[in-house]
Structure 1
Amino acid sequence: KSKMTSQTAKVVLSLDAETVSLLKDGVNFKKDPENGKCYIIYKGTEGFKACRNQCKHQGGLFIKDIEDLGGRTVKCTKHNWKLNLSTMKYVNPPDSFLQDELEVEILDDGGLRLVELSPLDPWLADPREPLQLKEGEVKVTYLTHACMELQLGQRRFMFDPWLKGPAFARGWWLLHESPADALDRLCAADLIYISHMHSDHLSYPTLKVLSERRPDAPIYVGDTSRPVFWYLEQSKVQLTNINVVPFGVWQNVDEHLRFMIMMDGVHPEMDTCIIVEYKGHMILNTVDCTRPNGGRLPQNVDLMMSDFAGGASGFPMTFYGGKYSDSWKATFIKNERKKLLNYKAQLVKSLQPKIYCPFAGYFVEAHPSDRWYSWV
């Protein structure tokens, strides 16, 4: 195992609801009264963006750019470098750095926190040069929903095995039936990664079969504050080889294979994603993360996988009665799907993976047997 220090998420600034309500559109400068450090919060139509008030060139402070009538840019007092806060790109000089963003967490009471991940790019530790691969040495197989099997040389790595039974208390069912040998492949896997506790990823009906046939199968989860296997004792599923690994640290399997689990910027207490590297070639799986690793991800990976469905978006669960018309709900769903697809498209465009594979959206919300049920 690597001796690297675990990646941490640190709150660097907290604002109460009243202070948040007073933030104006565009650029806002805020100072932490405790440590005296300065931050910039940009309020736009899509929400908030934030960063340290520190130029990446030589560490100068930013001030408002009076030449920018749109109210999006700030200017460094040292060398007049300009930063567009709506994109976090430096516009003067062009094609220079990207500013390191802070994660903006909106609290239930209307308050706001700025969170900083450290280190930002943990996968850069101990870099390895890509080696030539033989034909068929790496195989990626889709099984169902979010379950993928990676064959990496002699090793088999399985992601999020939901292979049988329902999820979310009969709310979700698999759209595609698992291959006949899927459970055999799961039980023979060298490594199993489970990203988070949602039951379309942490499937107890599936794990019950695994526990009966191979209870010591090596399972890896991230060190989230809400444990992935929170229900293990009550479920009576006996698994004896669950490994909780720190965030942002390479886990060495052998001389050619390693992996790293990273946290989600929006839900660090629960959601995780993973990078798998084999002979210097990277596979990135962002799973269900809303903002994986705070938006900082490796570029030009060989394969990128991510969800593409809205999942439990709130519809139709929270919309009932006569308050919401059918046309309102239709518009809401359309806009939500459009926003999600736009975000995924922008993410893929910015990261430029060699291959992109959308997955983790293959479910239905009604089992055929449910047609026998009716509302009274």
Structure 2
Amino acid sequence: MAISPTKKNESAPVKMRRVGLFEISENTQIVPARGLLAGVNDIGQFIVNMKKNVQLGEKPEVEWIIDQICNHCGGKLQHKQGLSTCPYCNWALHIESLTYLNGVAKKPLRYQIEGRALRVQTSIDMRNPYQSSFKGDFKIRYFNHACLLIEAGGAKLITDPWLVGPSFLGSGYLEKPSCREAVRALMEADFIFISSNRSSCLHPQTLSLLPKDKPFIVGNFASKSVEKSLRSLGFINIYPLEFQEIYEFSAFFQFSVFAAGDGLEDSGLYVCLSGHDVIINAYGNYLNTFNLPSDLTLLCLPFSGGTSGFPFCMQTEKATQTTLHNQRLEGFKYQLETLLTLSKPAYVMPIATPYFQDSPRDSAIKELNTKNPFKEGKQICDIYSRSHSEQAVKWLNPDETLTLEFKTADLVQWREDIHLLRKEKPQEFVDFYTRQFNYDPKQLITHLQGAKYKAKEIVTFVPTSEDFERVVAPIVQANFETQEFKIIPVRLIIKELKGHRVLILRVRREILACVVANHLPFEEMVRGFHCRIERSPDAYEANFWHHFSHVYIAPKPYSISLKAK
């Protein structure tokens, strides 16, 4: 794509500095201990594990206390026979070990014993003490998916730019083409915020339009996944920011990165723009465990649906897949309802807007992978406003032709002229991957050996045709406990083994080859619906996917050429 060069900005570059921390106040709740018995007690909002029965005149002895909030999507866990399961995302917590079946741990709540009761810390209130005492003007413009232009105090920040080409290895296509003005704004931005290393946020084809000294801000994840990915693409000015610390470009543009509450490496952004508090969150599940500033001017959050391969990559009945998918969509509605109450925004705008599996080979997925329509989000806001007239909230549909200018107490919307780029042709990208990448089982084995991943886990990689029906190349089995990696026939595929997690990944041959050759995150295969998965036990295996999608990555900037050689 040819973009005319922009004039070099002769003004002084915008600089960033650390300001400090939020002021925090704890919210607590009194939980009576009377009548609690030794062991696990489900008391509705909480589950309490007592060391022994509470005796008259004795202080209660508590092993731990937890809330019944799902750490993945913030839904209310439903406790039954030693498991607490989320009705929206299906995460299941094993109560005895306080570990979800996928391997993610749940932290007990802090508490103090007061007589025969517990004072439990339930949440925290956060306030920016460096915030301006008056509210001025700022601008936000939506460009596509999760890409926003934010302007205040002379600084310009772009978030998660995916503007050209597909994401997830030729699978995901923007609902509408981006405009040339979005690309120009990207080039002129002072800083770029990348919330995660998924390719709908950290999009190599879009980022290739930028000079390598463009400044980026990212969350300082333990694995350095976003930072590593950007450095592998050649960028040199990357600023990993500590979570919940406040930084600023000026007194009119302050910001802080918040981590997802589920332990996955996604993040969102708090910004204070001329005294207005704003939350921008494309993918951060249960963001900052929903401990967020309140009385927001604007809340930007996902509503249409996520980018997970669950449940359509799982080997389950279509009816079951549809039920699980619909539950996930309801989870996005529940999140909106919850955040309206917690953050009290004046305006809500959905981001991470729909993209589609437009390739003919993914037509079945496109039909099944339905989205929440925006009108249902507006209905939720309208219902909330009718019962909270003093805190009415207005829904804003994302529109690339509008610049939103927030004033002291109102909003002005400016209509912009736009010039659209050409719409992508999905089959050209499918043909590129098929033509460009050749699967080599020895290369896959070398890649797996280099990961240094140790677990009681057996993963079998089955290269298949594009419809997953035929095995088209040698199968590789990885025993991560014994560190044995070998080529096997179909009859030796292990489907279950006592004491081990077992995965069978049926992956499109050229996609598996591309991921290995370019050291890409394994999750790209799932989010792009390029694989079908069998697993025992039937639960997401967090450690495996985290290691091969965040720890053991070094993405190469391979060039996409759509012309046949």
Shorter-chain-normalised TM-score: which range? 0.5 to 0.7
Contact 1:221–1:245 (8 Å) recurs in 2: yes
Whether 1:350 aligns to 2:342 is: yes
Matched residues in 2 for 1:28 and 1:313: separation? 30
In structure 1, runs of 5+ residues without a counterpart are 8-21, 50-103
Matched residues in 2 for 1:48 and 1:4: separation? 39
Could you give the per-residue CA deviations for residues 170-206 of structure 1, whole angstroms, max 9, x where no partner exists?
Answer: 1211112111122221010012111111110011111
Could you give the per-residue CA deviations for residues 192-224 of structure 1, whole angstroms, max 9, x where no partner exists?
Answer: 1111111100111111111xxx32222100111
Match of 1:224 in 2: 221
Matched residues in 2 for 1:220 and 1:111: separation? 28
Task: State which of 43, 47, 70 in structure 2 corresponds to 1:28.
Answer: 47
Matched residues in 2 for 1:232 and 1:144: separation? 21
Secondary structure of 1:338's counterpart equals: helix
Matched residues in 2 for 1:105 and 1:185: separation? 44
Task: State which of 265, 280, 305 in structure 2 corresponds to 1:270.
Answer: 265
Structure with the bigger percentage of helix: 2
Secondary structure of 1:358's counterpart equals: strand
Greater mean deviation of Cα atoms: 311-320 or 174-183: 311-320
Matched residues in 2 for 1:5 and 1:38: separation? 32
Task: State which of 222, 244, 251 in structure 2 corresponds to 1:248.
Answer: 244
Contact 1:223–1:244 (8 Å) recurs in 2: yes
Deviation at 1:43, TM superposition (A): 5.0
| CA shift in 2, pair 1:317/1:261, >3 Å | same
Counting only pairs closer than 5 Å after superposition, residues 356-375 of structure 1 correspond to structure 2 as 356-367=348-359, 368-370=425-427, 375=467
Matched residues in 2 for 1:297 and 1:239: separation? 31
Matched residues in 1 for 2:269 and 2:105: separation? 30
Matched residues in 1 for 2:141 and 2:355: separation? 18
Matched residues in 2 for 1:110 and 1:202: separation? 25
In structure 2, runs of 5+ residues without a counterpart are 1-16, 24-38, 52-60, 70-74, 80-97, 111-120, 360-424, 432-465, 470-565
Task: State which of 49, 65, 70 in structure 2 corresponds to 1:40.
Answer: 65
| CA shift in 2, pair 1:369/1:215, >3 Å | closer
Deviation at 1:41, TM superposition (A): 2.6
Letter in 2 for 1:246: E
Task: State which of 326, 343, 363 in structure 2 corresponds to 1:334.
Answer: 326
Matched residues in 2 for 1:231 and 1:172: separation? 20
Match of 1:209 in 2: 209
Whether 1:291 aligns to 2:308 is: no
Contact 1:257–1:278 (8 Å) recurs in 2: yes
How high is the TM-score relative to the length of structure 1?
0.68
How high is the TM-score relative to the length of structure 2?
0.47
Contact 1:163–1:206 (8 Å) recurs in 2: yes
Match of 1:173 in 2: 173
Counting only pairs closer than 5 Å after superposition, residues 31-180 of structure 1 correspond to structure 2 as 39-42=64-67, 46-47=76-77, 106=100, 108-109=102-103, 112-114=106-108, 120-133=124-137, 138-180=138-180
Letter in 2 for 1:276: V
Letter in 2 for 1:225: A
Deviation at 1:145, TM superposition (A): 0.3
| CA shift in 2, pair 1:111/1:199, >3 Å | closer
Letter in 2 for 1:286: N
Count of aligned positions: 294
Contact 2:152–2:274 (8 Å) recurs in 1: no
Aligned-residue CA RMSD (Å): 3.5
